[in-house]
Amino acid sequence: MFRIVKKYPATRARVGMIETPHGAVETPAFVVVGTHAKVRTLDAADLHATDTQIIIANTYHLWRTLGEKGLAVFPGLHAAMDWNRTLMTDSGGFQVFSMGVAREHGVGKVAPKIKKEPAREHSNILENVGMLHTDGAAGKGVVKITEDGVVFTDNGVRYWLDAEKSIRIQQQLGADIIIAFDEPTSPRHDYEYIKKSLARTHAWAERSLKAKTSNQFLYGVVQGGSFEDLRKESAQFIGALPFDGIAIGGSYSNSFGSTRERTIKELEWSIPHLPEEKPRHLLGIGLIPDIFAGVAAGIDTFDCVVPTREARHGSIWTAGGRIDIGRRKYADDKSVLDGECVCIVCDQMRIEKGALHAMFRDKNTADGEFSEARQQAARLATLHNISFFNLLMSRIRASILNGTFDQFRHQYQIK
């Protein structure tokens, strides 16, 4: 499944290859998020144009959208998405966090606050309505965690999800890589809670392995919060089980700096205790400094909503930093989005900042929907941002291969 092509001296960075039934993934790689089996604003041809190698879909949301009857006749993610490259699914474990303690503690994935998009009616099961994002306001969770599994209360209806059911759903969805059921914890949980939670995650990992009957690659999940002994214990336990790869759960909070520093520490504690020959995935973390730090620590793949979600709201990633294309100063700018970018938007279509600014500023329709110009703006921005992240990963791989990773990392981050 996985082979290491080259290691970079003085760090744990490496170039590798994950071989799957739907092609090879060159690592380090960025995993594009397609929550409801669709990357919003783009189709399969668009995604191919961005050089996307791998997409991750959300098990919980697809399960709730399709229902048991829909799952029984579901043709599989590859067919539904018209995607012939590699796919992952998560386990539903993140929703244990996001719909439970994240609401109760007022914590969430690291991301800036964003405006809410206009509500839409969706009849197509493949329309992506986005993941829940908490912005720091504590509230009431809708999750009850037991030793056996989790009860979700959704619109007054209770749903049961456990390790066996998560694996069964992921097998029906048919991704190439699936993930064991786990319980992510909050940075506000104390040591005793996280220790008990870790025991649950480890038990669910063993149950996930026993439940799998397919040929899909199954990743176990390392947890343990921000406690060194628990991280090491989890890495040793999960690393010793016959998983095909390892996913690492990071800490979540509302602070950019503390989260990044905490996550780097967690990687330093965990990775030395993981098998070298298995691929490592960092769950839900993907800002550019995080990517460089993760690669140096030995991470092979990353998934994050940042490039796609921010694109829809006018945040454009460039080699010179992130820009807000909606700002007035770009209204008359005749330059392309990024002079160093070779994506279809910058290099072929030659879309100017001023033109994209005007599209984003176009008014919504009378019923609150995005105008055609606004929809096109979101598509172009998404095409560019995904291409930008994929190109960055390609350049990181090249720097490891030619022995210049440290220089590239330094030069890139001081721009």
Instruction: Specify whether 324 is catalytic.
Output: no
Angular region, 396: left φ>0, alpha ψ -120 to 50, beta rest: alpha
Measured distance CA(92)–CA(78) in Å, rounded: 19
Measured distance CA(88)–CA(372) in Å, rounded: 31
Instruction: Specify whether 303 is catalytic.
Output: yes
CA dihedral 191, 146, 176, 79 (to 10 degrees): -140
| 203 contacts 220 by C-beta, under 8 angstroms | no
Q: Phi, psi (5° rounding) for residue 215?
A: -95, 10
Shortest CA distance to 284 belongs to which of 65, 30, 86?
Answer: 30
Q: Phi, psi (5° rounding) for residue 304?
A: -165, 145
Q: Kind of pairing, strands 280-283 and 245-249?
A: parallel
Q: Which two tokens stand for residue 200?
A: 């649950």
Please tell me which residue in 162, 176, 303, 338 is annotated as part of the active site.
303
Q: Which two tokens stand for residue 166?
A: 């998560």
Amino acid at 399: S
CA dihedral 19, 32, 237, 195 (to 10 degrees): -170
Query: Which residues belong to the active site?
Result: 90, 303
